[in-house]
Amino acid sequence: MSTWQRLLKIRQDRGAGYFILIDPDKVEGGNLADFVRSATEASVDGFLVGGSLILSDGFDERIREIKQNTSLPVMIFPGSLFQISSSADAILFLVLISGRNPDHLIGNQVVAAPIIKKMQLEAISTGYMLIGTGKMTSAEFMSNTKPIPAHKPDIAVAHAIAAETIGMKLLYLDAGSGADGTIPETMIAAIARHCSLPIAIGGGIRTPEEAARKVAAGASFIVTGTIHEEQAHRELMREIVDAVHKQSHVRS
């Protein structure tokens, strides 16, 4: 079964899935193996690995370490061309559709696609939208793009429909790592009404209640990263797992 099929099955069986984003630079206590094992025990649905700016080297080694400690899907969420590894299960093949920076619309994809194909790494075509909820985030600064304003759901809907029409598989709406605010439920619901692509939501989510509200609005996947870098994570992971999966039952 491909990783994409696994994701669709998670969505089908559990209503929605919960992914932990690992920035290899920032794992709590520096103990990646323990972190991955405890997240797996907490029944999260998979891992994303990446960051807007990773300063340490050994990206491939880190992916292998994560893979050795979980049987869950491990997907690259690339912040740059240097974040490609054949050891992952798949890579989110991101196109930064909310921006108008040609490097992130086609330039980097042209460089990366032949490498990914040669590696036989599964690529999941993803329409990535940055949403501006407050202060400037690393993703906004590093990508040199303007985010879609959080109070403009109609603009986000038009981008989502464009991604669907182009033939992308997944939408990822991101407020950016450590964002002050989260993606508004009104925006998620508007996209879910007009577009059938699965929606991943990340950026600034800190509580199970917030995660549950995103799922109730129409999100298929919830991503959190920063909270696990900041605090004891095991209990919180379980609570978010429960909130995401329970909320899915309420919705369906």
Residues engaged in binding ligand 1GP (CB under 6 A): 21, 174, 177-179, 202-205, 223-226
Closer to ligand 1GP by Cβ: residue 98 or 177:
177
| Minimum distance from residue 183 beta carbon to ligand 1GP (Å) | 9
Distance set, CA 100 to CA 11, 231, 234 (Å)? 31, 36, 39
Query: Nearest to ligand 1GP by Cβ — which residue?
Result: 202
Closer to ligand 1GP by Cβ: residue 49 or 63:
49
| Minimum distance from residue 109 beta carbon to ligand 1GP (Å) | 19
- CA trace torsion 229, 232, 235, 239 (10° rounding): -40
Give the strand pairing for 46-49 and 17-22: parallel
Closer to ligand 1GP by Cβ: residue 179 or 212:
179
| Minimum distance from residue 112 beta carbon to ligand 1GP (Å) | 18
Closer to ligand 1GP by Cβ: residue 171 or 223:
223
| Minimum distance from residue 2 beta carbon to ligand 1GP (Å) | 23
Give phi and psi for 197, each to the nearest 5: -70, 145
DSSP codes, 201-230: EESS--SHHHHHHHHHHT-SEEEE-HHHHH
| Minimum distance from residue 41 beta carbon to ligand 1GP (Å) | 20
Closer to ligand 1GP by Cβ: residue 153 or 225:
225
Beta bridge partners of 123: 91
Task: Report d(CA 171, CA 174) in Å as an integer.
Answer: 10
Task: Report d(CA 30, CA 38) in Å as an integer.
Answer: 14
Burial class (CB in 10 A: 0-12, 13-18, 19+), 158: middle
